[in-house]
Amino acid sequence: MRLFSDVPGRVLAIFAHPDDAEIAAGGTLASWASQGAEVRLVLCTLGDKGSRADDSPEAVALRRSHEASNAAARLGVGSLITLGYPDGEVTNESSIRRRIVGQIREFEPEVVICPDPTTVYFAGGYYNHRDHREVGWAALDSAFPAARLPKYFPEEGRPHSVGLCLLSGTLFPDVLVDISGGLRAKIEAVAEHSSQLEYGVEWLGTALSRRAEDVAKGSGLKYGECFRLIQGGG
Ligand SMILES: [Zn+2]
């Protein structure tokens, strides 16, 4: 895996649920933000089904939106955009691509970070959430080629060419980002999602640190996050 050491001027993170970006790429976003990158996070769903308690979906969504705002602040996210789809009801179709293209053209990112939509089964028998896959496809289809071609969604502003996409939650990682400067913020950001913490903050800190160490093993770095790099297309 090669080291990805560039720090983009603007990075757009596009994820499904309120805690996804923090878990998948929180160290990268925090590291880059601390080095001057402007970070925007587009959150596609409300997270309204992310609870086994008796709370109403509306109450869950409200709590999770507060958690998302606090977590974004921990990472140094400059703007948090919520598209507001109910959990399980986000689909890669024209209306969400139009909204993502609008975000890309307005924010003009060099780098987009989103889930790898080709990941269906992780090791250990874990089945990837449908929302992650749908949002990954929608983000990629919006970046390549829709956002850069003027005849796609002309009402959404002037074309913008995204330089590259980094896919998280991938089975085919090929680049590694040094998150030694961002791991602390990542742990704090994930911990803000208290509605989702089953084993407490201490366990969380240990688990995220170990994961970051494992990812960086053999690279010479202490802590890393890995991605699959997609450079253009469409
Ligand atoms: Zn998720």
Query: Is residue 113 a contact partner of residue 25, using CB atoms and an 8 Å limit?
Result: yes
CA distance 181 to 183: 6
Ligand 1 centroid, distance to 179 Cα (angstroms): 21
Q: What is the pTM of this model?
A: 0.97
In this prediction, residue 234 carries a pLDDT of 59
Q: What DSSP character marks residue 162?
A: -
> In sequence order, what are the residues at sequence separation of 6 or more whose Cβ sits closer than 8 angstroms to the Cβ of residue 6?
none
Ligand 1 centroid, distance to 24 Cα (angstroms): 9
Q: Which residues of the chain fall short of a pLDDT of 70?
A: 233-234
**Minimal CA–CA distance to 16: which of 135, 177, 178?**
135
Query: Is residue 102 a contact partner of residue 160, using CB atoms and an 8 Å limit?
Result: no
> In sequence order, what are the residues at sequence separation of 6 or more whose Cβ sits closer than 8 angstroms to the Cβ of residue 25?
13, 113, 166, 168, 225, 227
Q: How many domains does the chain have?
A: 1
Q: Which residues of 110-140 are buried (b: 16+ CB within 10 A; e: fewer)?
A: bbbbbbbbebeeeeeeeebbebbbbbbbbbb
Ligand 1 centroid, distance to 107 Cα (angstroms): 24
Ligand 1 centroid, distance to 167 Cα (angstroms): 14
pLDDT digits (tens, 9 = 90+) for 152-172: 999 999 999 999 999 999 999
CATH code for position 143: 3.40.50.10320
Q: What DSSP character marks residue 21?
A: H
In this prediction, residue 200 carries a pLDDT of 86
pLDDT digits (tens, 9 = 90+) for 82-103: 999 999 999 999 999 999 999 9
In this prediction, residue 143 carries a pLDDT of 97
Domain, as residue range, for 54? 2-230
> In sequence order, what are the residues at sequence separation of 6 or more whose Cβ sits closer than 8 angstroms to the Cβ of residue 65?
18, 46, 47, 82
What residues have a C-beta under 5 A from ligand 1, the ion? 17, 20
Ligand 1 centroid, distance to 154 Cα (angstroms): 31
In this prediction, residue 198 carries a pLDDT of 85
- The amino acid at 167: L
